[in-house]
Amino acid sequence: MTCKLQFYTTMRLIRIQYLLLTTASILFASCEDVVNLPIDSTPELFVFSNFSDQNNLDVYVYKTTSVFSKDTTEYIKDAIVKVYADGELIEELKLVNPPGDAPPFYATSNLSPVFDKEYTIEVKIEGHETITAKNSIPTPVNLEDSSFKPQFSQGTDEDLVVNFATSVSLRDPAGVENFYHIKFYQELIPYFLQTPNDTVFGDTILVYPSIVKKVNENSPANNYSSDQSYLLKDTNFDGQYITVDFTGQYTFNPKQTKAGRFLIELRTVSKAYYLFYTGDEGDVLFNNIDNGVGNFAGFTSKVNSFKLTD
């Protein structure tokens, strides 16, 4: 059964990880512009937001002297961030300061983005030109079918190794340029025994597999190794029903965490999103942010879930 995502607090943390990984190691991407930056450049303003119809629109704003450095990131907390649709102001975003080491971001409180509507963000920072970006959420494509077959073996120490075979099927709409992102997660619930008869459970977390490989090397899926997910462009399967098969592996300690559902997510993504995650490494940045660098891109999401064991 296809279900909507119900774990966006955790997904926000995952997007934060994307943000930090991107700052350190990959290129930003968008539909049109190409910006050449040296590795050690003067400070650049970065704006990042991947938004969907199932969550608030969050915007991260930060400054760094090098796109390959984790140590020089400075998050901007005094920006004025607004979102527009059809030329009309929808909302001014509020600054959110999460607990712990998570970076601050700007969030909507009333906006529920809808697909096929173009949104514009405007970011004003004193001493800088106004930053703008435009994008939309594409019409969702259903996750037609999927499978998950796990096998278990003992790993090192107390870890359990889960080797799995999985497949994802979709029916691509004909005559439209479509882009997809296939992602895999395992729910884990930390726990400990407070007394022999009293178990205390923590919040559910999502972990990526350590390995995911496509079975057919000629498959149109392209690996995004940072979280072992796959991106697809429908150039060679426009209007077709396709199935992509994968094998993968992850480990966990059953004495410390209880396994929840295994989740397969199919995202229908905008071109700006696709190019962001498939950018080539180097000193060339693909960019859809005016007067800044970064990525503003929409997606929709469909999820199938499976029990790890019966």
User: Tens-digit pLDDT profile for the chain (310 aa)?
Assistant: 333 333 333 444 444 444 444 333 332 322 233 334 444 456 689 999 999 998 889 999 998 765 555 556 889 999 999 999 988 999 999 999 998 888 999 999 989 899 989 999 999 999 999 999 999 999 999 999 999 999 999 988 889 999 999 999 999 999 999 999 999 999 999 999 888 888 999 999 999 999 999 999 999 999 988 889 999 999 999 999 999 999 999 999 999 999 999 999 999 999 999 998 887 544 456 689 999 999 999 999 999 999 987 5
Rounded to whole angstroms, the Cα distance separating 52 from 12 reads 12
Q: Identify the pLDDT of residue 38.
A: 41
Q: Identify the pLDDT of residue 39.
A: 45
Rounded to whole angstroms, the Cα distance separating 80 from 45 reads 14
Q: Residue 254 is encoded by which pair of tokens?
A: 């059953």
Strands (E), 65-159: 74-75, 80-85, 88-92, 94-96, 105-107, 118-124, 131-136, 143-154
Q: List the chain domain ranges.
A: 2-138+284-299, 143-270+301-307
Class of 143-270+301-307 per CATH?
mainly beta
Strand partners, 132: 122, 290
Rounded to whole angstroms, the Cα distance separating 92 from 104 reads 16
Q: Which amino acid is at 208?
A: Y
DSSP state of 238: T
Alpha helices, DSSP H, located in the chain: 8-25, 271-277
Cα angle value 17/23/25 (rounded, 5°): 95
Q: Which amino acid is at 150?
A: P
Q: Residue 256 is encoded by which pair of tokens?
A: 């410390």
Cα dist from 175 to 5, 27, 178, 244, whole Å: 28, 29, 9, 21
Residue in the structure block whose two tokens are 């490989």: 213
